[in-house]
Chains A and B, each alone.
Chain A
């Protein structure tokens, strides 16, 4: 039976817990930058955890460097933490670039609903005011026809320049609002 002899210091364990908790909270937010901050916090929590799992600290892990009777630190945990820091750095840069691009395109960096969610919401909205049907401006239209008119961004087969993609997106949304006051 392998047992971890070194009980980690309570303060480190507490720090890991706090980092994870705040990180998860931020991860559940909508803007990409906050999600990123959450990821960075959790990433640091994991790094700390790796370090704690390496056992107690000691002399630098070079043979012959440690005075007699002094234990060396675990170098493997340090190596893993270094690798993970580098990876976190790269991914952080990528997500920042993405948040910036999102801000360029939309003026914000909130993560949008996915397509299915929007479809469900759209159907719910279409079904909701059933009692108002008598006042509907286009009473002959079936639900399917109306749904077919609603913008669906999966279907990007319409013509239009790619660089105007965002504008097209906005235009379509504007159209939709006109149709359905």
Chain B
């Protein structure tokens, strides 16, 4: 069989899943587990990079198990999926290496201190890999129900990771998290049921064809229901209260993954459904604009009020989700491109910051700004590692945060409606307040006289510093390679906005193929037959 880029498409899902099974079976052999996990994520990363290159030629479609598309599940790797996958696996790999470096504290029997925040490795590895598989599945799937399954995979494993160790505080935070998660999943499943009832399909490409044909009010209701479900996962303002409460209690690597990835899967889903399934609905876009503004401003005001670095960063995370929603709500090619670039930037920078905070906690024994101080003198390397992504987050030129924000602001000004201008102003204010928040953290934790509580010689494990440094460097790479990357994001946005690239890729024989095989229109017998025939292809 000749080499085909389609071979790569299922790998980011399959490899971590298989590796998860292996690591669970080999839970007694910690060293083997580590090797398997790292190899699996590296392989998935390699496959993602391959997809990144291959998908630039157009979306790659794989029918899972060779079940024909409208009935079977398809995986679609287009540019957006590929770029999200690549950056996610870079970040997952860095975090995995970091957690290996953190490891179990050497002979310390004071796991109550933050430094001894040990991770039960036997559970950690399989769960982490399943999380990776769930994220990859959510990015790759071309089927709404499969997206739901992807969400459930990653949310279930994230709940396990969040409550690792089962301490009182984590159980409390985990309870809130799991309840919110369950509500959003239930809403999502209800939306799927209603969409299936309205259109007779859950395949996204087919939905893109059929949704324009149904009653516009029903369509808007379906769109809002999906947005509600994804909005909870993405932590958009009125639905964001759970995030700063639950994230900071987890171990540093876990918080880093959550902050970098989980909300972005929600953002990706919004991006996908808004551009592909519900392309023209200015009213909803305006609602999203208002929500984006509120998310930005209220999130950052929460951050400014915090006195704990982890919580501060969690609030900036909520706030910066607003930028991505702003880009999506503009509903133009340039706006979407800016949103995609911003997502990539934000995954790398937010994860890097949480990893650095893990190091700060290790070095200074606390994340409270009142207890820290003088770290710039005690650990200059750590200070650099914090300073670069912190400024990047605030959007200081010439870093990638600045470039993403410029893209958003320019497009906001080009669109030029009153609301867009309000958002442009709101973005700038949020950016300044982010700078204020991170500078406050910098002043209190890294400047000032060293606090006496901080021991003067705590070596930072190289295994933790190197992955953090790698991720910070990756953030800088996004700045250096901004030209090609932004071009890629623009092509991705163009292809997702034109509305037919995706559908044509899934139904290469013409758009009618999907209809021909499983026409529904209230006749279930035909559809059942269609599905059985679809299966016959396999």
Contacts and interface: CB of A to CB of B under 8 A. Distances in A.
Contacts of B228: none
B196 A53 contact: yes
A176 interface: no
Nearest to B365: A157
Interface residues of B, number: 70
A43 B189 CA distance: 9
B524 A56 contact: yes
B112 A61 contact: no
B175 A111 contact: yes
A47 B166 CA distance: 31
B197 A73 contact: no
Contact of B522 (A5, A98, A161, A163): A5
Contacts of B245: 114-116
B171 A105 contact: yes
Given A87-B152, A155-B366, A61 B528 contact: yes
B532 interface: yes
Nearest to B214: A2
A76 interface: yes
A164 B168 CA distance: 10
B interface, over-half SS: helix
B186 A52 contact: no
A27 B32 CA distance: 43
A157 B160 contact: no
Contact of B189 (A54, A84, A165, A168): A84
Contacts of B215: 1
A5 B521 contact: yes
Nearest to B368: A155
Contact of B193 (A32, A46, A153, A166): A46
Contact of B112 (A42, A53, A98, A161): A161
B213 A1 contact: yes
Given A49-B193, A157-B114, A160-B112, A4 B198 contact: yes
B457 interface: no
Q: Which among B174, B193, B366 has the highest number of chain A CB atoms within 10 Å?
A: B193
Contact of A76 (B159, B198, B242, B527): B527
A91 interface: yes
Interface string B499-538: 0000000000000000000001111110111011000000
B112 A162 contact: yes
A112 interface: yes
Nearest to A53: B197
Contact of B174 (A98, A160, A164): A98
A71 interface: yes
Nearest to A51: B193
A5 B167 CA distance: 53
Given A35-B179, A157-B366, A161-B111, A58 B524 contact: yes
Contacts of A6: 522, 524
Interface string A151-181: 0011111011111111011000000000000
A56 B109 CA distance: 63
Nearest to B113: A159
Interface string B103-131: 00000011111101000000000000000
B529 A4 contact: no
B521 A2 contact: yes
Contacts of B179: 27, 32, 35, 39, 111
Name the 6 nearest CB pairs between A and B, nearest first.
Answer: A5-B522, A53-B197, A157-B366, A71-B525, A72-B528, A114-B245
Interface of A: 1-6, 27, 32, 35, 39, 42-43, 46, 49-50, 52-56, 58, 61-63, 66, 71-77, 80, 83-84, 87, 90-91, 94-95, 98, 101-102, 105-106, 111-112, 114-116, 148, 153-157, 159-166, 168-169
